[in-house]
C-alpha cells in the first residue's frame, strides 16, 4: 500500500502548525507548567474558531464534514507543539463515545457544542476494563452514580464526562454525567506533566444518563479506544518528530573540539536510532489512519501497532534528545524536559504501553487464527 496525505491535507496541517506557533508558543506551555494557567485558552478558542473541534463530525451535528485523515494531521501538530488544551479528551474520547453510542437527542445536544468549543468533555475510565465489572470503582443505581475515579485527564476542566460504571445488570455500562453538578467533588492531582490537567473525581448520588445499551460498556470502550489510539499515536508522532528536530538542530550548532558535536560517532548513532524509530512509527500511523478513515476490519490491529510503535518512538526521541543536549538538556530553561514529560504522560493514557502490547498480540493471534 502506498498511502500519503493529499496536498490539501498537508496544507491544513501547515496552517494548524502556524496557528499553534503564533498562539501557543512554549511560553504558553510553561504558563501551565508553572501553574499560572489551567490551559491555553487562546489555543482552545482558536481551534474551535477554525472548526477543528468538529473536523471528523458530520455537518448535521455541527461538524465540518471532513474526515479522520484531517483529524490525524491536526493531532500530529498538537503533539508537536505540546499544546496544553483538553482537545484530546474532548474530541478523541468524549465526542467519539457520544458519536458511537449516543441517542439522536444526545448527539444533537452535545456534539454541536463540542464543535463550537462550548463544551469540554472527558472520559472517566481509570480501571482495567478488560475484567469487566470486577474492579469498577463506580456503580450506578436508581439513576445515580456512586464511587470515585482516581485519575481523570482534564477532569478538572471538563463540564461533562463519559463514565464507566457497574450497572444493575451485573456488567459495565457507560453513562453521561455533568461534572458541574453539586454532588461531584473534584480534586487536582499532581502528575509528571503539569501541562495536562489531572483530577480525582468523586460521585455522591450524582445524576447520570445511560450512553448506549446497558451492559455494553466494555465493547463500546474498545471501539472508542481503537479510534482514539490512532489519534494519540499521531500526537506522539508529532512530539517525537519535534524532539528529533531539536536534537539535529543542536547537534549541528553546538561545537566541541572545533567540530559540530553531530559529527561524533556516538551522537550519529543515537540520532540514527531516533530517526529509525520515528519512521517505523510514521509508517504504522499512516496505515492506522487509513484503517480509521475507511473503518476497515484491520482497525484494531492497525491501532495497536501504531500505538505501540509511536509510544516507543516518542519515549526514545524525548529521552535521547536530553542526552544529545548534554548537561543543558537537564535544565529547566531548555524545552527537552517538556517533551520527556509529555511522552511519559501520553504513554499512560488509554491503559499504558503494556496493555497495548497485549492488545497487539491478541489481534495478531486472532488474525492468524482466521
Reported as a single tens digit per residue, the pLDDT across 297-336 is 999 999 999 999 999 999 999 999 999 999 889 999 999 9
Which band of pLDDT confidence, cut at 50, 70 and 90, is reported for residue 366?
A: confident
User: Can you give the length of the chain in residues?
Assistant: 370
Alpha-carbon gap, residue 157 to 155, rounded angstroms? 6
Question: Residue 154 corresponds to which cell in the numbers above?
Answer: 482534564
Q: Could you report the per-residue pLDDT of 48-87, keeping only the tens digit for each?
A: 999 999 999 999 999 998 999 999 999 999 999 999 999 9
CA atoms within 13 A on the CB side of 4: 5
Which band of pLDDT confidence, cut at 50, 70 and 90, is reported for residue 261?
A: confident
The DSSP code sequence of 190-202 is: --S-TTS-EEEEE
So what's the architecture of 121-215 in CATH?
Beta Barrel (2.40)
Query: Higher confidence at residue 284 or residue 137?
Result: 284
Residues 6+ apart with CB under 8 A from 44: 85, 86, 87, 117
Alpha-carbon gap, residue 236 to 137, rounded angstroms? 30
Residue 129 has pLDDT above 70, yes or no: no
Average pLDDT over residues 193-214: 95
So what's the architecture of 7-115 in CATH?
Orthogonal Bundle (1.10)
Residue 368 has pLDDT above 80, yes or no: no
Average pLDDT over residues 29-50: 95
Q: What's the sign of the alpha-carbon dihedral 336, 230, 102, 214?
A: negative
Q: Could you report the per-residue pLDDT of 230-247, keeping only the tens digit for each?
A: 999 999 999 999 999 999
Alpha-carbon gap, residue 229 to 249, rounded angstroms? 30
Q: In the prediction, which pLDDT does 56 show?
A: 95
Neighbours of 204 (CB within 10 A): 14
Domain residue limits, the chain? 7-115, 121-215, 218-369
Residue 131 has pLDDT above 60, yes or no: no
CA atoms within 13 A on the CB side of 5: 24
Whether 156 and 199 have beta carbons less than 8 Å apart is answered as yes
Q: Which stretches of the chain are DSSP H helices?
A: 7-23, 26-33, 41-49, 68-81, 87, 96-101, 104-115, 217-253, 265-294, 299-324, 336-348, 353-369
Topology agreement, domain 7-115 and domain 218-369: no
Average pLDDT over residues 274-301: 97
Q: In the prediction, which pLDDT does 133 show?
A: 47
- Average pLDDT over the chain reads 93
Q: In the prediction, which pLDDT does 134 show?
A: 52
Entry pTM: 0.96
Alpha-carbon gap, residue 120 to 104, rounded angstroms? 20
Q: What's the sign of the alpha-carbon dihedral 292, 296, 300, 306?
A: negative
So what's the architecture of 218-369 in CATH?
Up-down Bundle (1.20)
First to last CA, the chain: 22
Q: Which of 239, 240, 267, 266 is nearest to 251 (CA)?
A: 267
DSSP state for residue 81 in the 8-state scheme: H
Average pLDDT over residues 263-292: 95
Which band of pLDDT confidence, cut at 50, 70 and 90, is reported for residue 197?
A: very high
Question: Residue 362 corresponds to which cell in the numbers above?
Answer: 491478541
Amino acid at each position: 500500500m502506498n498511502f500519503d496525505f493529499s496536498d490539501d491535507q498537508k496544507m491544513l496541517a501547515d496552517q494548524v502548525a502556524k496557528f499553534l506557533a503564533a498562539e501557543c508558543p512554549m511560553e504558553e506551555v510553561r504558563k501551565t507548567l508553572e501553574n499560572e494557567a489551567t490551559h491555553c485558552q487562546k489555543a482552545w478558542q482558536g481551534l474551535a474558531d477554525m472548526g477543528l473541534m468538529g473536523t471528523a463530525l458530520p455537518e448535521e451535528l455541527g461538524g465540518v464534514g471532513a474526515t479522520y485523515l484531517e483529524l490525524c494531521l491536526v493531532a500530529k501538530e498538537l503533539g508537536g507543539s505540546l499544546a496544553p488544551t483538553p482537545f484530546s479528551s474532548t474530541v478523541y474520547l468524549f465526542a467519539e463515545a457520544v458519536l458511537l453510542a449516543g441517542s439522536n437527542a444526545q448527539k444533537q445536544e452535545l456534539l454541536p457544542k463540542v464543535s463550537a468549543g462550548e463544551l469540554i468533555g472527558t472520559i472517566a475510565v481509570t480501571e482495567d476494563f478488560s475484567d469487566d465489572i470486577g474492579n469498577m470503582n463506580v456503580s450506578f443505581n436508581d439513576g445515580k452514580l456512586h464511587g470515585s475515579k482516581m485519575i481523570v485527564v482534564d477532569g478538572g476542566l471538563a463540564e461533562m464526562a463519559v463514565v464507566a460504571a457497574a450497572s444493575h445488570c451485573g456488567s459495565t455500562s457507560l453513562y453521561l454525567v455533568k461534572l458541574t453538578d453539586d454532588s461531584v467533588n473534584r480534586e487536582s492531582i499532581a502528575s509528571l506533566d503539569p501541562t495536562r490537567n489531572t483530577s480525582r473525581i468523586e460521585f455522591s448520588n450524582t445524576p447520570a444518563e445511560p450512553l448506549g445499551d446497558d451492559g455494553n460498556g466494555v465493547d463500546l470502550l474498545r471501539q472508542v479506544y481503537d479510534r482514539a489510539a490512532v489519534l494519540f499515536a499521531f500526537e506522539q508522532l508529532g512530539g517525537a518528530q519535534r524532539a528529533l528536530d531539536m536534537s539535529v538542530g543542536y547537534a549541528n550548532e553546538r561545537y566541541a573540539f572545533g567540530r559540530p558535536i553531530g559529527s561524533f560517532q556516538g551522537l550519529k548513532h543515537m540520532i540514527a536510532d531516533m530517526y529509525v524509530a520515528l519512521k517505523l512509527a510514521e509508517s504504522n500511523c499512516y496505515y492506522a489512519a487509513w484503517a480509521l478513515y475507511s473503518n476497515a476490519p484491520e482497525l484494531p490491529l492497525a491501532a495497536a501497532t501504531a500505538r505501540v510503535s509511536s509510544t516507543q518512538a516518542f519515549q526514545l526521541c524525548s529521552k535521547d534528545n536530553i542526552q544529545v543536549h548534554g548537561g543543558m538538556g537537564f535544565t529547566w530553561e531548555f524545552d527537552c524536559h517538556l517533551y520527556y514529560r509529555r511522552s511519559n504522560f501520553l504513554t499512560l493514557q488509554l491503559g499504558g504501553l503494556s496493555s497495548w502490547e497485549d492488545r497487539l498480540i491478541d489481534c495478531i493471534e486472532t488474525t492468524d487464527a482466521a
